[in-house]
Amino acid sequence: MPEQSLDIECSHCHNTAHYKVGHDGEDILEASLEHLKGKTKIHIKSLIAKHKIDKADFGYTIYTCPTCHTLSNPYDVRVEYDEIMVFQPFYKCQKCNITLVKAKQPYTSYTCRECGK
Ligand SMILES: [Zn+2]
Ligand SMILES: [Zn+2]
């Protein structure tokens, strides 16, 4: 999926937050490496080097915190390899330290980071 930009405006304070979905460039797992950081990047590199990759999905994804309902926009990656294995990192809310879940449409129903509505 090509990278798309989304602007989500708060109906209360009219603050507009920018989010991205998908990824630019080639549809091969190597293309995700420049966007990944830390342990996830090291792990993906070793998967590419040592395992048979069956399926890879990656790109910017909109997540939400189940507690404070604000949105986050990490570069997400999910890899199926060696026929039965799956690697997918977890993301945590920086405020609540709770594992984020994928956000569902409509994105305007989530809490605004600026005004909290
Ligand atoms: Zn707002
Ligand atoms: Zn939270």
- Residue 72 Cα to ligand 2 middle (Å): 10
Percent of the chain with pLDDT over 90: 94
Indicate the burial class of 72 (C-beta count within 10 angstroms; 0-12, 13-18, 19 or more). Answer: middle
pLDDT at residue 1 greater than cutoff 80: no
Among 114, 91, 115, smallest CA distance to 103 is for: 91
Residue pair 60/31 in contact (Cβ under 8 Å)? The answer is no
What mean pLDDT comes out for the span 84-97?
96
Does the global pTM surpass 0.75? Answer: yes
Which amino acid is residue 82, in one-letter code? Answer: D
Q: Tens of pLDDT along 2-28?
A: 899 999 999 999 999 999 999 988 889
Between the CA of 110 and the centroid of ligand 1 the distance, in Å, is 10
Distance 36 CA to ligand 1 centre (A): 30
Minimum-distance ligand to the CA of 68? 2
42 Cα to the center of ligand 1, angstroms? 37
CA–CA separation, 66 vs 53, rounded Å?
31
pLDDT of 27 reads 86
- DSSP class of residue 109? G
